[in-house]
């Protein structure tokens, strides 16, 4: 009986020693990893399930920490890019407007210069509005009130506001709007969506513009197609915040317009889709049809 107890004690001591040894080795690996910031994977020769589970969980924890660090680095880079874009987007039209003001002092054609100054101030206002909307979306503080909206009427009203600019840019417009289509929508958000979409057309499009609003399979579909001034390299990234391609021969973009359209569309129960076959660029938005 004594021999049996001694044998059990020896086995238990050996087992505890094995656990102690493995935990000590694991601690050394963790200390090394923390000190050197190495990407080594924690390992163990032990076959004990609970030790293997601990090591697996530790590795997953370190991987998650690394992922979060990379995310923070990307966010920092994005913020630096944001600051650069903000500085450029506001400084440039202000500088141009200042130049026009100086010209007014020695020019008889002041009305034309005043109009150009006004255009640059409008650009600044639009950039600041984009940044404010971006901040609200990013911090999820945007206040949206969904209610029945006659989207046919709302789209027509927004389009009328851009009519003169479209004529000035010599667009040929093919317009199809089905009457009295209703959806649950936040009217301010829809107005902003339209302003960014039509603004995008005017800045980056040319010649041909097609606007179609209809319903199909209990969905309201808004499809806007236009020819682009220059080929698009990375279509899928156009709705990514602060991604900018040089698509316009005349105007720099903030890289927020389509991102805001996508976010507001999705936050109002809609879907956002981009399609591109040069030279035609198409944005398709859909929302559930509100039955009368």
| CA dist., res. 280 & res. 226, Å (int) | 6
| CA dist., res. 132 & res. 173, Å (int) | 31
What is the structure's pLDDT at 248? 44
We find that the CATH architecture of domain 148-288 is 2-Layer Sandwich (3.30)
How confident is the model over 145-182, as pLDDT tens digits? 899 999 999 999 999 888 888 888 899 999 999 999 99
Which sequence spans correspond to the domains of the chain? 2-69, 84-138, 148-288
How confident is the model over 71-93, as pLDDT tens digits? 888 877 776 676 666 666 666 66
Confidence band, pLDDT 50/70/90 cuts, at residue 244: low
User: What are the beta bridge partners of residue 184?
Assistant: 148
| Of 131 and 189, more confident | 189
């Amino acid at each position: 009986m004594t021999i049996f107890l001694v044998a059990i004690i020896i086995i238990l001591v050996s087992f505890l020693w094995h656990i102690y040894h493995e935990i000590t080795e694991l601690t050394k690996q963790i200390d090394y990893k923390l000190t050197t910031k190495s990407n080594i994977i924690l390992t163990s020769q032990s076959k004990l399930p609970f030790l293997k589970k601990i090591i697996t969980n530790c590795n997953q924890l370190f991987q998650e920490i690394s992922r979060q660090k990379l995310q923070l680095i990307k966010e920092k880079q994005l913020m630096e890019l944001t600051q650069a874009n903000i500085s450029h987007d506001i400084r440039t039209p202000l500088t141009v407007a200042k130049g026009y003001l100086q010209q007014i002092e020695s020019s008889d054609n002041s009305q034309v210069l005043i109009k150009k100054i006004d255009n640059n101030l409008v650009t600044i206002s639009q950039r600041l509005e984009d940044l404010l909307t971006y901040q609200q979306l990013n911090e999820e503080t945007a206040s949206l009130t969904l209610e029945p909206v006659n989207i046919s009427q709302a789209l027509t009203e927004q389009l009328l506001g851009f009519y003169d600019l479209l004529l000035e840019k010599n667009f040929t417009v093919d317009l199809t709007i089905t009457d009295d289509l209703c959806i649950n929508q936040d009217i301010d958000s829809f107005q902003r969506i339209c302003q960014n979409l039509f603004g995008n057309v005017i800045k980056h499009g040319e010649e041909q513009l097609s606007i179609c609003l209809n319903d199909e399979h209990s969905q309201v579909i808004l499809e806007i197609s236009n020819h682009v001034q220059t080929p698009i390299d990375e279509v899928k990234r156009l709705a990514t915040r602060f991604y900018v391609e040089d698509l316009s021969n005349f105007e720099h973009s903030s890289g927020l317009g389509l991102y805001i359209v996508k976010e507001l569309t999705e936050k109002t129960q809609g879907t956002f889709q981009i399609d591109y076959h040069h030279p035609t660029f198409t944005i398709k938005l859909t929302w559930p049809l509100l039955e009368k």
